[in-house]
Amino acid sequence: MLVDDHALIREGLRRAVDRAGDMTVVGEAQSVREAMAVAEHVKPDVAVVDIRLPDGNGVDLCRDLRDRDPARGVVVLTMYGDSEHLLRSKDAGASAFVSKDAPAADVVTAIRQAAARPDDFMADGLAEALAQQSKGQGTTLTKREQEVLGLLADGLGVAGISKRLYISESTTKTHVAKIYAKLGASNRAQALMTAIRKGLVSGQAED
């Protein structure tokens, strides 16, 4: 089943499928609602879905299609080839993630993969995306550490932070040391740069 709100793209995909010779397009849809109705009627082995649809998105559609039939493969075909969309598609149960810029042969390969092994996710750049995700998840600050980091970003020193939070300077130094360790930093400047990059503090903190 082909799901895309652009008729030309569906036509191109249909031609690629027809040329493959070992698969057949059993249905088409141009919206999430229509896709669910068509899928219920034709029960496709594989659905090729666009991420951006008029009444929703292909990631949520992917999840719904897999929930309805766990044995069904879903290929997410999209212009958005960034890591966020890739990982969201993976988490939604997609079998493959393919860019619309990819050759038609890559889409056909992804369809075959989705039909044979719907639970084995296939995507270019998957290793890099997972590495970025792992790196981002590695920084978890306690509530107190977040407070200390915020005050560091405001320019306060150990004495000022201790006074503001009503804790001893020794305790403040311990919190600062733990923050530096978690951020892989050796000084305030490095810690704030890393924190800004990870979205832990505002980018205005350096001013």
Across the chain, mean pLDDT equals 88
Q: Where are the domains of the chain?
A: 2-134, 139-206
pTM confidence score: 0.65
Instruction: Tell me the mean pLDDT in the region 155-166.
Output: 94
pLDDT tens track for 20-53:
999 999 999 999 999 999 999 999 999 999 999 9
CA angle 67/71/75 to nearest 5° reads 80
pLDDT at 131: 65
**Residue 147 clears pLDDT 50, i.e. is over it:** yes
Q: pLDDT, tens digit, for every residue of 52-109?
A: 999 999 999 999 999 999 999 999 998 877 788 888 898 899 999 999 888 999 999 9
**What pLDDT is stored for residue 205 in this prediction?**
38
* 179-197: pLDDT as tens digits: 888 887 788 888 898 888 8
Q: Which CATH class is domain 139-206?
A: mainly alpha
pLDDT at residue number 204: 45
52 φ/ψ angles, rounded to the nearest 5 degrees? -95, 115
Rounded CA gap, 94 and 90, in Å? 5
Report the share of the chain in percent with pLDDT over 70: 92
Q: Is CATH 3.40.50.2300 what the domain over 2-134 is classified as, yes or no? A: yes
- Structure tokens given for 171: 């305790």
**Hey, what's the torsion of the CAs at 179, 181, 182, 187, to 10 degrees?**
60
DSSP for 68-81, written as a single string: H-TT-EEEEEES--
Q: Per-residue confidence at 133, pLDDT binned at 50, 70, 90?
A: low
Q: Which residues, at least 6 apart from 121, have a Cβ–Cβ distance to it below 8 Å?
A: 90, 94, 95, 96, 97
